[in-house]
Structure 1
Amino acid sequence: MGKRPEPLSFEDLRTYSLFERPSKVSVEKLGRPLGPGRTLREFLRALPKELAARDLLDLAREIVRARKRDRPVIWAFGAHVIKVGASPYLLDLMERGLVTALATNGASMVHDAELAMCGNTSEDVAAALRDGSFGAAKETGELLNEAARLGARGQGLGWALGKLIAEGNFPYKHLSLFARAYELGVPLTVHVAIGTDIVHIHPSAEGAAIGEATYLDFRIFCRLVSELEGGVFVLSGSAVLLPEVFLKALSAVRNLGHRVEHFVTANLDFLRQYRPLTNVVHRPTLSAGKGYSITGHHEILIPLLHGAVVEMWEGEDADL
């Protein structure tokens, strides 16, 4: 056997005073547990001033700052945001003028429309797939494919569905993001990938109409992105489609000479995935601006962010 190495001696190791060392964490940044009966503002102020809690409040400040300067706030979202019950928070931000445009995918049309029509959505896919009944809801297919035909005539897919829901006899249309956006004149664009949505298998589906309507929405979205300088772009619940749409739109508007450099982006999701991080948080803000990635469940993160934004916007003291 070889000779055992001599243990290293620490006798001459240089030390310094803890009291002179720069440190990242201080007692001022610690969270403060609260008792019952406290307000949302007190709760937000008591959060730790570290990592995601810090970023959440910083993002809320960026949204409020952008709107006070009359700069846009575009919120892009996947269908999961609707399915977990978080769409009323986006609805409220839109009504307050704190979100100036929305962008989504085709699945969001399904869930928003079904909730408006009957107050229920999201079928049991595993059970319905056995006999091929998955996605075959008659009313859903007819309404959304009618929206595609209407939207293809020049106003786009999001506007068309909003009009049909807002003017239809639907008991829960007051909860529809599409209907309220139409009523408020807030742009809501839909970015469809053919074959991904249940309405594409319905007899009423027309590929040409779907393609034309969603392409119009992409061009409208590009116009919105061309005006994003000084604004905020938030993504929640889309891992592939909407990050790609945003990246292509940003490239197109810069190619056309629009200055879109100083802006804030954020991704809110329960997983950190490549495209949202790369195409929304990092690449677009390399030259200027700032990107946030906050990991957590939408049914928790979005209400918290909504609360912080409203408190900062409406409260007497805008600082939290």
Structure 2
Amino acid sequence: MTLFDPIELAGVRSYPLSERKSIVCRDDFARPWRAGGSVKEWLASLPRILAAKDLLEIASGIVGAIGRDRPVILAMGAHAIKVGLNPVIIDLMRRGAISALALNGAGIIHDSELAMVGSTSEDVAAELGSGRFGMAEETGAYLNRAIREGAAHDLGLGRAVGAMLERERFPHCDQSLLAQACRLDIPVTVHVALGTDIIHFHPSVDGAAIGKTSHRDFRVFARAVSMLEGGVYINLGSAVILPEVFLKALSLVRNLGHRVQHFTTVNMDFIRHYRPVTNVVNRPTLDGGKGYNLVGHHEIMFPLLAAAVIEGLDEAGGAGNGPPPDSRRDI
């Protein structure tokens, strides 16, 4: 016998297929769609396999957290704003389905520009060569003034900007996450990396005020994380900043003695990034809970998740209706 001789197969041992444990079963298959059905019927038609199963489990986890009065924290990059998700997120806030928001520095820029003029996101390539990129007067002036005033009054950056938008009564505040969260008294924290945002090179910038208000927001964010036991944390499209902030906040609150062990984490983005998968999905849930990673475009996946949550809340008996759309707090 040499290395060139084929192995003999006569001694192979087999067993009945019916005795094997299989991970795919016909009972988990999708059901064909029929025209005229409802969202609830569409959700029920999904296969109970891989990402479809994860989507349904995440929605169920959010509905369960709301029913138990546990927080649902949405941390998001600015791209979610730029693909038109503000109305969906605001609706979830009004229903009581989002307890707190966390943004990066770009989030306040795009959200505030929407409130001011109903549009945002300039053509960077077209403006960079002339030095006009990022030079819109109102964006820098209003935001930097709000941050300075927030620092003077010991406010966090998110609350300072939200209050400014409400106070100025810009024509499109109904589409602003910051303004609507301020009305609903939902905390919005903003986590800034200095030099990453256009308002950092306007003459009105105050680096000390940014640092003071953003650090206060880190502490507010950590308070929300300290209450996350039994809740849900969603990272929507932040590849670096917010996954890092979340991991540090989680370490801080555990160091202070808060029990944050059994909770659900979700990362949603259109590609897999190292930090969100590691710092949101995997590491925080090593001692309990469960982490999920949903890959897909924000403008499709998040509305699907929102629809599943709303259907789940309705089935649970109308929980999560939240305050009516016109409710507000005094600023």
The interval holding the TM-score normalised by the smaller chain is over 0.9
How far off is 1:167 after superposition?
A: 2.3
- Where does residue 12 of structure 1 map in the other structure? 11
- Where does residue 286 of structure 1 map in the other structure? 286
Q: What is the identity percentage for the equivalent residue pairs of Structure 1 and Structure 2?
A: 56
Q: 1:15 & 1:260 partners in 2: Cα distance?
A: 47
SS across alignment from 2:115: helix
SS across alignment from 2:189: strand
How far off is 1:265 after superposition?
A: 0.7
User: Is 2:229 the counterpart of 1:229?
Assistant: yes
Note the aligned Cα RMSD (angstroms).
1.3
The amino acid across from 1:269 in the alignment is D
Structure 1 window deviating more from structure 2 (5-14 vs 60-69): it is 5-14
Q: 1:307 & 1:134 partners in 2: Cα distance?
A: 37
Q: 1:4 & 1:73 partners in 2: Cα distance?
A: 61
Q: 1:224 & 1:26 partners in 2: Cα distance?
A: 40
Deviation by residue 1:267-301 (Cα, 9 ceiling, x = unmatched)? 00111111111111111111111111111110111
How far off is 1:12 after superposition?
A: 2.3
Q: 1:258 & 1:146 partners in 2: Cα distance?
A: 36
Gaps of 5+ in 2: 319-331
Deviation by residue 1:240-270 (Cα, 9 ceiling, x = unmatched)? 0001100111111111111111111110011
How far off is 1:74 after superposition?
A: 0.6
SS across alignment from 1:37: coil
- Where does residue 244 of structure 1 map in the other structure? 244
Whether contact under 8 Å (1:228, 1:263) holds in the other structure is yes
Q: 2:187 & 2:193 partners in 1: Cα distance?
A: 20
SS across alignment from 2:159: helix
How far off is 1:143 after superposition?
A: 1.4
Q: 2:150 & 2:260 partners in 1: Cα distance?
A: 28
- Where does residue 32 of structure 2 map in the other structure? 33
Q: 1:162 & 1:288 partners in 2: Cα distance?
A: 35
The amino acid across from 2:80 in the alignment is V
Q: 1:76 & 1:270 partners in 2: Cα distance?
A: 16
Deviation by residue 1:132-166 (Cα, 9 ceiling, x = unmatched)? 10000101111111121122121211011111112
Q: 1:283 & 1:163 partners in 2: Cα distance?
A: 36
How far off is 1:11 after superposition?
A: 2.2
- Where does residue 261 of structure 2 map in the other structure? 261
Q: 2:17 & 2:298 partners in 1: Cα distance?
A: 40
Q: 1:221 & 1:317 partners in 2: Cα distance?
A: 30
How far off is 1:306 after superposition?
A: 0.1
Q: 1:117 to 1:293 in 2, by over 3 A?
A: same
Name the TM-score, length of structure 1 as normaliser: 0.96
How far off is 1:127 after superposition?
A: 0.8
Q: Any residues of structure 2 matched to 1:290-305 within 5 Å, and which? A: 290-305=290-305
Whether contact under 8 Å (1:151, 1:158) holds in the other structure is no
The amino acid across from 1:84 in the alignment is V
User: Is 2:43 the counterpart of 1:48?
Assistant: no
Q: 1:231 & 1:238 partners in 2: Cα distance?
A: 20
Q: 2:237 & 2:149 partners in 1: Cα distance?
A: 27
Q: 1:83 to 1:9 in 2, by over 3 A?
A: same
Extract structure 1 runs of 4+ deviating beyond 6 A. Answer: none
SS across alignment from 1:233: strand
Q: 1:169 & 1:158 partners in 2: Cα distance?
A: 17
SS across alignment from 2:294: strand
User: Size of the alignment, in residue pairs?
Assistant: 316
How far off is 1:19 after superposition?
A: 1.6
Name the TM-score, length of structure 2 as normaliser: 0.93
How far off is 1:315 after superposition?
A: 2.5
Deviation by residue 1:211-244 (Cα, 9 ceiling, x = unmatched)? 1111111111111111111111110111100011
Deviation by residue 1:189-229 (Cα, 9 ceiling, x = unmatched)? 00011100001111111111111111111111111111111
Q: 2:125 & 2:266 partners in 1: Cα distance?
A: 33
User: Is 2:125 the counterpart of 1:126?
Assistant: yes
Deviation by residue 1:23-67 (Cα, 9 ceiling, x = unmatched)? 111111111221221100011111111111100110111111011
How far off is 1:4 after superposition?
A: 7.5
Q: Any residues of structure 2 matched to 1:93-172 within 5 Å, and which? A: 93-152=92-151, 153-172=153-172
